[in-house]
């Protein structure tokens, strides 16, 4: 009896040890998840739940699975080649004309996507501050946040602040998950929304936004570069995969929780989701009068953190594609992030004729439209013979192409709506 008891204790200790080891290996994937749980995700998921209830949960599930598949490819590429995606695109296309064309396409796509994303980040951060201090308009907060982000990036003293802000984002995310449970949602409707795709005529821009806020193109570059710094051995690929699945899976669940809590609070009402103060109401079942303050601080942290990482990611991607040394102190590197941040500051200031939430939604939609371009290059380099047994298997390619086709179809369906919305922002 005593031997059986000791055996059970040893098994439990081994399981606990393995669990702790897996937690210690959580790294780059968590950064990717923290990156896509930003103001764009909170805003787009809130809009989705408010306008469509649980019916668009399938789009969030699709986005989460798609992110895991593509980010696993990016992580595998980074570990095996010890290079970022930009460097791989440059090195694995032998034809000079095709290589130059690919580099130009990547740079243009990354610039457009990151500028749109950066604009949404600054607007999201300013929306959080406006929730707390409504006397100061977004047109003041957004450029001011951009200037502060510029100062921190230039000085390099942003890493500690970024860790604190990421911590606040994670706390806010857990709160949304708890709120979704407290709101006592309709489980049958949730299951139906997850596994039976449906969409109304006005839902397509929101669907593209849900994809664009989760499967973020610049995260593919960021992930490939970050894993090569964290892990240097091919044997570490298993740890990277576990990191990717757990981190991004949790990020997807939190995003779904925002949709669920927004549906419980706003769907079927006449409430217009046009500010942080309105979105904060979905947290009131859990936090009561503290909801506004908690939400405002959380979405400010999410926006400001992403406002720092998005320009940096653009700089890593661009310098890698051009074959430059990735030196954060070099003027070439700084010039890239300064352009992305500078244009984001300008657009966040002049694009306020429409509501901040609409501007953020458009930024996420822009990302989804650009995603197929970057994903095509990712799949291409992962089929290169230099990767040997680590190149894409048939099932990797089938899943990747399927996701591409679905994304292209959805993006095409909403492209005209996207263009019309862009016009409406500035007219």
| 145-159, 161-175, 273-287, range with the lowest pLDDT | 161-175
Q: Of 248, 397, 427, which Cα lies nearest the Cα of 240?
A: 248
Give the pLDDT confidence score for residue 169 in this predicted structure: 72
3-state secondary structure the chain: CHHHHHHHHHHHHHHHHHHHHHHHCCCHHHHHHHHHCCHHHHHHHHHHHHHHCCCCHHHHHHHHHHHHHHHHHHHHHHHHHCCCHHHHHHHHCCCHHHHHHHHHHHHHHHHHHHHHHHHHHHHHHHHHHHHHCCCCCHHHHHHHHHHHHHHHHHHCCCHHHHHHHHHHHHHHHHHHHHHHHHCCCCHHHHHHHHHCCCCCCCCHHHHHHHHHCCCCHHHHHHHHHHHHHHCCCHHHHHHHHHHHHHHHHHHHHHHHHHHHHHHHHHCCCCCCCCCHHHHHHHHHHHHHHHHHHHHHHHHHHHHHHHHHHHHHHHHHHHHHHHCCCCCCCCHHHHHHHHHHHHHHHHHHHHCCCCCHHHHHHHHHHHHHHHHHHHHHHHHHHCCCHHHHHHCCCHHHHHHHHHHHHHHHHHHHHHHHHHHHHHHHHHC
Residue 179: pLDDT band with limits 50, 70, 90: confident
- Model confidence over 36-93: pLDDT tens digits? 777 888 888 999 999 999 999 999 999 999 999 999 999 999 999 988 888 898 888 8
Any idea where the domains of the chain sit in the sequence? Answer: 24-426
Average pLDDT (95-100) is: 86
| Predicted confidence (pLDDT) at residue 361 exceeds the cutoff of 80 | no
Average pLDDT (221-227) is: 85
| Predicted confidence (pLDDT) at residue 355 exceeds the cutoff of 70 | no
Give the pLDDT confidence score for residue 353 in this predicted structure: 47
Average pLDDT (122-149) is: 86
Residue 424: pLDDT band with limits 50, 70, 90: low
**Percentage, residues of the chain above pLDDT 70:** 84
Tell me the pLDDT of the chain averaged across its residues. 82
pTM to 2 decimals? 0.83
| 91-105, 179-193, 352-366, 401-415, range with the lowest pLDDT | 352-366
Give the pLDDT confidence score for residue 295 in this predicted structure: 85
Decide if 363 contacts 40 (C-beta within 8 A): yes
- Model confidence over 308-340: pLDDT tens digits? 888 888 888 888 888 887 677 788 888 989 999
Tell me the CA distances in angstroms from 277 to 29, 45, 274, 340, one per residue in order. Answer: 31, 16, 9, 28
Rounded-to-integer distance, Cα 10 and Cα 131, Å = 52
Tokens standing for residue 15: 């399981």
Tokens standing for residue 30: 């968590």
| 190-194, 266-270, 368-372, range with the lowest pLDDT | 368-372
**Percentage, residues of the chain above pLDDT 90:** 23
| Predicted confidence (pLDDT) at residue 16 exceeds the cutoff of 70 | no
* Residue 240 backbone dihedrals phi, psi, to 5 degrees: -65, -40
| 232-236, 324-328, 380-384, 413-417, range with the lowest pLDDT | 413-417
CATH superfamily of 24-426: Amino acid/polyamine transporter I (1.20.1740.10)
Rounded-to-integer distance, Cα 141 and Cα 356, Å = 12
- Model confidence over 290-302: pLDDT tens digits? 888 888 888 888 8
């Amino acid at each position: 009896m005593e031997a059986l008891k000791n055996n059970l204790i040893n098994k439990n200790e081994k399981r606990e040890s393995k669990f702790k080891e897996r937690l210690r290996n959580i790294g780059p994937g968590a950064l990717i998840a923290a990156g896509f749980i930003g103001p764009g995700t909170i805003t787009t998921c809130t809009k989705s739940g408010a306008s469509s209830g649980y019916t668009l949960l399938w789009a969030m599930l699709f986005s989460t699975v798609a992110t895991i598949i593509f980010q696993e490819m990016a992580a595998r590429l980074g570990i095996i080649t010890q290079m970022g995606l930009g460097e791989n695109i440059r090195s694995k296309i032998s034809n000079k004309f095709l290589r130059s064309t690919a580099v130009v396409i990547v740079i243009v796509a990354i610039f457009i996507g990151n500028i749109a994303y950066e604009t949404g980040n600054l607007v999201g951060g300013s929306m959080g501050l406006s929730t707390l201090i409504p006397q100061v308009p977004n047109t003041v907060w957004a450029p001011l946040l951009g200037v502060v982000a510029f100062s921190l990036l230039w000085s390099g003293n942003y890493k500690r602040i970024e860790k604190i802000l990421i911590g606040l984002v994670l706390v806010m995310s857990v709160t949304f998950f708890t709120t979704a449970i407290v709101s006592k949602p309709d489980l049958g409707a949730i299951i139906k929304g997850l596994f039976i795709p449906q969409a109304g005529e006005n839902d397509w821009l929101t669907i593209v936004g849900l994809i664009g806020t989760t499967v973020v193109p610049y995260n593919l570059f960021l992930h490939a570069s970050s894993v090569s710094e964290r892990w240097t051995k091919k044997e570490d690929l298993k740890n990277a995969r576990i990191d990717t699945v757990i981190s991004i899976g949790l990020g997807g669940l939190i995003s779904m929780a925002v949709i669920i809590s927004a549906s419980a609070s706003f769907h079927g009402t006449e409430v217009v989701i046009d500010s942080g103060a309105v979105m904060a109401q979905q947290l009131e079942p859990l936090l009561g009068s503290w909801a506004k303050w908690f939400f405002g601080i959380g979405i400010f942290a999410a926006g400001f953190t992403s406002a720092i990482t998005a320009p940096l990611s653009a700089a890593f991607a661009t310098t890698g594609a051009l074959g430059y040394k990735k030196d954060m102190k070099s003027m070439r590197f700084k010039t890239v992030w300064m352009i992305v941040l500078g244009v984001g500051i300008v657009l966040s200031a002049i694009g306020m004729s429409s509501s901040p939430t609409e501007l953020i939604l458009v930024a996420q939609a822009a990302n989804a439209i650009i995603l197929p371009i970057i994903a095509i290059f990712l799949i291409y380099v992962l089929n290169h013979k230099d990767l040997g047994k680590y190149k894409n298997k048939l099932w990797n390619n089938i899943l990747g192409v399927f996701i591409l086709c679905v994304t292209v179809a959805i993006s095409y369906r909403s492209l005209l709506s996207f263009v019309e919305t862009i016009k409406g922002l500035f007219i």
